[in-house]
Structure 1
Amino acid sequence: MVLELTGIESRKIMIDTSKITTLKHDIEEAKHVVFLTGAGISTHSGIPDYRSKTGIYNGISEPPETILSEDTLYQRPELFHNFVMQNMYFPDAQPNPIHEKIAKICNEKGYLITQNIDRLDTKAGNQHVLEFHGNLYEIYCTKCHQPVSYEAYAQDFRHQDCGGIIRPKVVLYGEAINPETLTKSVEIMRQSDLIIIAGTSFVVYPFAQLLAYRNPAAKIWAVNKTPLPAQGINEIIGDALDVFPNL
């Protein structure tokens, strides 16, 4: 059965309700659900994604791999600071129904591994969140290693106490994922009996490689606007905002 829905901003879409029903049943039957999410989850909270036509990388003066690198952080700290402040921080953003539904399921019987660095999942009350690429709001001085508030960082990239360069605790281009994060991610994947991928093109590594560590018996679903490159996935093609409230 195909259902015509009119959603946010009068978006008219067609959704296969039988797939939603099956996914809902799989969630109810699962003992350990794992969500793998990306930027598409937060766009409905007013946070742009990265590489779409309206994304933060569109039309920038230098490649993002250059601007958001450790070299730029230390060699051109003003450029780094201006870019993240103008394009990546949305302190007033609030969780949307997708965050809320994921939080409800995770708090009951699951875990979220997210690429997002906007902390909206924890704002939604999710107690089982692993931020694979870190969190923009964990900010510290690279010289004295003291924590720094967002408000202080917004004013200056230099630490007033010691003059060190301040940075958010996120994985920059060229930096490795925290080994503890990788170990925890693999552990979570191995416990899974249901995996739900949402709001991500699932092409960024090593995040996309996490599927290799899943429980072989786990069912895999994707709720995404476009098909994913991975094989063996049950897919609902559409906007997650039109799907998750019905789960």
Structure 2
Amino acid sequence: MNSHPVDPVLVDVARAARRVVVFSGAGMSAESGVPTFRDAQTGLWAQFDPTELATPEAWDRDSGLVWAWYQWRTGLVRRVQPHAGHRAVADWASRTQLSVVTQNVDDLHERAGSDVVAHLHGSLFSPRCSRCGAAHPTDGGVDTEPTGPLAPPSCESCGGAVRPGVVWFGEALPEDAWTRAVAAVETCDLMVVVGTSAVVHPAAELPILAARTGATVVEINPEATDLSRHISHTWRTTAATGLPALVDAIGGDR
């Protein structure tokens, strides 16, 4: 039993909810030890601005360098584990209709047992051909930090270079993922926004959409964000602490 106190009002709201969306961001993954976008800049990568490695232009300029950086990031993710917050979401989903929408490109929700409705910014574990878009099997990244470029694999369908399966700066979100996310948000009665500053658009528009369509929106974040003033409830705690406490609190009477 989790002893972290939960606002009784929040418990009542969560207990009554029949369609829940959990919307997660980088703060949730960071608690598992996943380096944030900029924190993954060590060794060779310290000389690069990450925004210069995560663009179509960077890929066109030096695909081997970009592939090496993402292989390093993929390996970092593979070596960490889901935390109690990830597991609590999966537990909650076993009791009620719950959809996970995430801005994170890792697979921690899935490894904790959740089905993810939408990876809005793609996934490190879904590489695809840069030419024809065909999916390519992931090899799980590399264990040691590359000291230079790594040649991307070739597409099994057309021979094109395989690229990371993430959304780069300047690219649109995957249309199918965005459609699934909007559908889940428009029909939910509770949205829990956890570990995100909600400043990256268009993903940041989803909590506002939920509020406009009548859902209760709860923010779990240790710090105030731009979203805080627009929503129903804010809880200044972290994902790994708050989510297990909330799920424990609502669990007995469902």
User: 1:184 is paired with a residue of what secondary structure?
Assistant: helix
User: Identity over the aligned pairs, expressed in percent?
Assistant: 26
Specify every segment of 5 or more residues in structure 1 that has no aligned partner in the other structure, as ranges. 6-14
Query: CA–CA distance in 2 between the matches of 1:160 and 1:131?
Result: 23
**Cα RMSD between the aligned structures?**
2.5
The question of whether the paired residues in 2 share the 8 Å contact of 1:122 and 1:129 is answered with: no
Q: Which has the higher strand share?
A: 1
Specify every segment of 5 or more residues in structure 2 that has no aligned partner in the other structure, as ranges. 143-149, 247-254
Query: CA–CA distance in 1 between the matches of 2:109 and 2:11?
Result: 21
Q: TM-score, normalised by structure 1?
A: 0.82
Post-superposition CA distance 1:76-132 (Å, at most 9, x none): 112212222223442233221111111222342111110011111111111243111
The question of whether the paired residues in 1 share the 8 Å contact of 2:134 and 2:155 is answered with: no
Query: 2:92 matched to 1:95?
Result: no
Match of 1:127 in 2: 115
The question of whether the paired residues in 2 share the 8 Å contact of 1:33 and 1:110 is answered with: yes
**Greater than 6 Å deviation, 4+ residue runs:** none
Q: TM-score, normalised by structure 2?
A: 0.80
May I ask how many residue pairs the two structures share in their alignment?
229
Match of 2:21 in 1: 34
Query: CA–CA distance in 2 between the matches of 1:98 and 1:152?
Result: 23
Ranked by relative contact order (alpha carbons within 8 Å, sequence separation 6 or more), the top structure is: 2
Distance 1:26 1:152, change over 3 A: closer
The question of whether the paired residues in 2 share the 8 Å contact of 1:117 and 1:170 is answered with: yes
Distance 1:132 1:145, change over 3 A: closer
Alignment of 1:54-203 (within 5 A): 55-56=39-40, 60-89=46-75, 90-107=77-94, 108-143=96-131, 145-151=133-139, 156-159=151-154, 164-203=160-199
| Alpha-carbon shift at residue 204 of structure 1 (Å) | 0.8
The question of whether the paired residues in 2 share the 8 Å contact of 1:121 and 1:129 is answered with: no
Match of 2:30 in 1: 43
Distance 1:166 1:241, change over 3 A: same
The question of whether the paired residues in 2 share the 8 Å contact of 1:110 and 1:128 is answered with: no
The question of whether the paired residues in 2 share the 8 Å contact of 1:153 and 1:166 is answered with: no
